[in-house]
Structure 1
């Protein structure tokens, strides 16, 4: 299995799609860095600065509008959805551009100064009111989750039989990449053991909450982008952030904020370990598929060394 390559478009194609969508000319179209699965471009049209993302993956962007409205209506600065559509095999999503740079680009001290605000945003995002919705896992355009339980979601995520999505045929990675089947099976067994702690908790999860998806002006957080949204245990987002911001004591900063907010988190340690396994295993197969061996082995060793 070869590494995934996101769609490639030239400026003229992107301009044509934007012009057709808005019925007027878009200007200043420029490719943007980042986005492992989407090709991203910035533009200006009718005085609005926007971003357009393209993907060839099934179901891409189907819930962008729902989640964008949900978060912005409850005071969380997430990119506002301006439109969506399809062009041939590609889906596209048009979002209002949030000013700022990826948090990862700032100095250690600049990031450290923004940790309290980041903990507050993470907490408020995970505790938004989701209304009369049901289910766990990936959010459907209706606002409901895809699976009846958290465990069903986990089983589906790592099932061998996947069709029409990024992980179709992913078991080939055991034969063609550094992905080790015995290691994966050991971690899967641990994941199932710890899932009992995560199972009862249903909140909104960003699903990809790391410094490349957090925007800042260097002094404050300006917004959040590019979620892989689901319903489940919110400690999944904390686990992701901890792994990607290991230079800070993210866990203590988070617990300090929860104490100040009067929030008690039962079974915190066990739930966090379950979250590490869940996202970490997904990371292992992603790194293997992309050919990122250093990231694979670092993550592998971290997961194998987890203890209660």
Structure 2
């Protein structure tokens, strides 16, 4: 199995999509770095910035369109979705551009100074009202989750048959990449021991909550972008942030924030363990497919040395 290649979109196709939506006058069409599954470009119209993204994956951006309305409607700094459409083999999405740079481009000191604001946003995302929806797992275009239970979702995303998805034929990775079957099965077994703790807490999960999807002006957070959004235990976002900012005391900062707000966190340790295993297992598979061996080895070491 080879690493996934982002779609190669011709400049005239990009111009056509933007002109169809905005009309004439779009300038400064510029490719943006980042994003593993999309080709992303920024542009300007009358001094306002926008982003257009292209994907050849089925159903790309439908959930993002829904999530944009959900989060921006509740005051979360998530970019507003303006258009969703098809152009040939590609799906495209046009969104308002949030000013700022990736938090990853800030110094560690700058990142740590903004950690309280990041924790506040994480907490508010977790408190998003999802009571009108049902299900766990991937959020669909209708706002509902893909599976009836968290356990069903965990089993499904780790199943061998992933026909028609990014993970189609992923078991080939056991023979063509650094992915080790015994390690994968060990972590999966541990994950299943914590499923019941996570399932008892259903909320909104961004699913990719780290410095490359958090924007900043250097002193404050200006926006949250992208995401592999799902319903489940919101501590998964905390686990993701902690793994990407391991020297920043993320978990301690989160617990302190909750204590100050007199918010009770039931079964915190067990839920966080389940969150680490869930995202870590997905990370092992992803890093192996993308040929990111150092990230694979680091995640493998972390997961195997987790203590209950």
TM-score, normalised via structure 1 length: 0.98
In the alignment, which residue of structure 2 is the partner of 1:155?
155
In the alignment, which residue of structure 2 is the partner of 1:33?
33
State how 1:12-23 maps to structure 2 within 5 Å: 12-23=12-23
Mapped partners of 1:164, 1:139: distance in 2: 17
In the alignment, which residue of structure 2 is the partner of 1:277?
277
Q: CA deviation at 1:216?
A: 0.3
Mapped partners of 1:249, 1:47: distance in 2: 39
Mapped partners of 1:142, 1:30: distance in 2: 32
Considering only aligned residues, what root-mean-square deviation do their CA atoms show, in Å? 1.1
Mapped partners of 1:131, 1:50: distance in 2: 32
State how 1:66-85 maps to structure 2 within 5 Å: 66-85=66-85
In the alignment, which residue of structure 2 is the partner of 1:211?
211
In the alignment, which residue of structure 2 is the partner of 1:202?
202
Q: Could you tell which deviates more after superposition, 119-128 or 58-67? A: 58-67
1:236-292 CA deviation, whole Å, 9 max, x = no partner?
000000000012111100100011122111111111011001000100010000001
Mapped partners of 2:290, 2:210: distance in 1: 18
In the alignment, which residue of structure 2 is the partner of 1:189?
189
Q: Gapped runs of 5+ residues in structure 1?
A: none
1:4-27 CA deviation, whole Å, 9 max, x = no partner?
111112333211221123333421
Aligned length: 308
Q: Secondary structure at the match of 2:62?
A: coil
Does residue 58 of structure 2 align to residue 44 of structure 1?
no
Mapped partners of 2:49, 2:273: distance in 1: 40
Q: Gapped runs of 5+ residues in structure 2?
A: none
Q: Is the 8 A contact 1:161 1:168 kept in 2?
A: yes
Mapped partners of 1:260, 1:88: distance in 2: 52
Q: Is the 8 A contact 1:63 1:140 kept in 2?
A: yes
